[in-house]
Chains A and B, each alone.
Chain A
Amino acid sequence: MPNPSKISNDDPAAVSGRDHVASGTDAPIVQLQEAVSLIGQFPALAGVNLVVGPGEVVLIRGPNGAGKSTLLRLCSGLASLTSGAGRILGHDISDRAGRRAVRREVGLLGHATSLYDELTVEQNIRFWVGANRSDETMVEPVMHRFGLDGRLRSVRVAGLSAGQRRRTAMAIVVCRRPSLWLLDEPHSGLDEDGRTLVDDLVVQAAQSGATVLIASHEVDRVSELAARTVVIAGGRVHTGEQLGDSTDAS
């Protein structure tokens, strides 16, 4: 479980959101109204209403195929909004320019790790840090924090275990310093140390003012991190539960 007291904001590998989030504006980070998103002809999201404020950590849970991953992709600017209205980080995602603007400010850890098998761990991280225009001085401390600075540094990604791939992908997300973290089953494939590391990152991200949405089936574990739980089924948000009580979010 996370131990925020262990996390120092002086740590160069510490998680932090970008400046506009830390500046203290109260405008919602995620604001969806009757949002519909199609995968082909199938409405993966069929009228979602959701508001998430700055610095919130929200658990999104629901059965397989409920629309959790599509909701995260919509919030990342990758999936398009077919109907309804949506603003993410202040950008209108109903148009392409808005979605492009959102993409630069979010960190998405999906089922895919987006790593190149033929490159080493370090080459992958340095490529994505360059592509994301992240701070290159973060590479070494972040690799150290994720246990990627030793023997693994020069190992090709094709030779990594699923958990090591996940750590590498997570390190890249940390280097992005996103304002909105979108984590899809972030504990999947990780050992206990890795799972604790993820928990610490979530706590630290929230402390720095970033907003975190976590889609997970590990309800007990993530509930300890999240201030709120959103239940999604059949492409719609059914309930939003504050910890300790239950309210309708939609």
Chain B
Amino acid sequence: MLRDARLVAAKDLRIEWSSKVLTAQVLPFGFLVLILFGFGISPERIVQGKDGRSVLEDVSPALFWLAVLFSALLALGRSFAIEADDGNLDALQLAGLEPAGVFLGKTAAVAVELAVLEVVVGSGALLLYGATIRHWLLLIVVLVTTTLALSGAGILYAALGAGLRVRDTLVPLLVLPVLAPVLLGATRATEAALFGAAADGWSWAGFLGAFSLLYLGAGILLFGALLEES
């Protein structure tokens, strides 16, 4: 299983490196979302009773994760578009790869892409919104668990629509409601890492970890059946 996962992840990352879609489209899209949010919320507005923070700084965790979530939809859609275009899903099944290995490989590739995106867009958010980090360890744990949750659940639902002509519009409709709790948890935990007490954030980080484990487990068990039906 792990051999197959490594093979699929390396192939997906090589394709992304070669196509430059991440750097030429997904990253600029993430930045654009951040900047547009900045235009929509005035940086001069101050939140009452919150250490003089601006509204923009106060909502920066939510804006950051929204930008990551929207960008993740592009990465997830692409992850299966490359398989569906020329009968590659059939070839993956004929190859006799472990379905769980294919799932883990595609999840790992999307997770790496999202990690790059989070570092770059996160740096942009800190600069644009003027936020500072108080609890680095909590933030790193939140980034890791949220990335796994987004990519694991996302790949599982993207596989549902893989063989359909309407997958580009259907997959976001399936994925966004499922990922709403992840967005909530990641935002609350990131608020704690930036502005609050770390203890408030660890419970949310635990929730994100449980969510990611749940979907990674479900993907390992169910991905074979999903591939059969796609």
Report A's interface with B, CB cutoff 8 A: 76-78, 96, 100, 103-104, 106, 108, 110-119, 123, 127-128, 130-133, 156
Contacts and interface: CB of A to CB of B under 8 A. Distances in A.
B94 interface: yes
B15 interface: yes
B19 A114 contact: no
Nearest to B21: A118
B92 A131 contact: yes
A156 B15 CA distance: 11
B176 interface: no
B228 A118 contact: no
Interface in B51-84: 82
Contacts of B90: 78, 108, 110, 112, 114
Contacts of B7: 127, 130-131
A77 B93 CA distance: 9
19 contacts: A76-B94, A103-B94, A110-B90, A111-B87, A112-B87, A112-B88, A112-B90, A114-B86, A115-B86, A115-B88, A116-B82, A116-B86, A118-B15, A119-B15, A123-B14, A128-B91, A128-B95, A131-B95, A132-B95
Nearest to B6: A130
Given A116-B15, A118-B15, A103 B93 contact: yes
A119 B14 contact: yes
Of B82, B86, B228, the most chain A CB neighbours within 10 A belong to: B86
Contacts of A117: 85-86
Interface in B1-39: 4, 7, 11, 14-15, 18-19
A112 B96 CA distance: 18
B94 A106 contact: yes
A161 to B, nearest CB: 15
Contacts, number: 65
Contacts of B95: 103-104, 128, 131-132
B226 to A, nearest CB: 13
B97 interface: yes
A103 B227 CA distance: 14
* 6 interchain residue pairs of minimum CB distance: A112-B87, A114-B91, A104-B96, A131-B95, A118-B18, A118-B19
B96 A133 contact: yes
Given A119-B14, A130-B7, A156-B18, A78 B86 contact: no
Nearest to A115: B86
- Chain B contact residues (Cβ within 8 angstroms of A): what range? 20 to 34
Given A118-B18, A123-B14, A113 B86 contact: yes
Interface string B176-212: 0000000000000000000000000000000000000
Given A119-B15, A119-B18, A114 B96 contact: no
B194 to A, nearest CB: 38
Contacts of A106: 94
Contacts of B97: 131
Contacts of A115: 86, 88
Given A103-B95, A104-B94, 9 more contacts: A110-B87, A112-B86, A113-B86, A114-B87, A116-B82, A117-B86, A118-B15, A118-B18, A127-B7
Contacts of B15: 116, 118-119
B47 to A, nearest CB: 46
B94 A78 contact: yes
B93 A116 contact: no
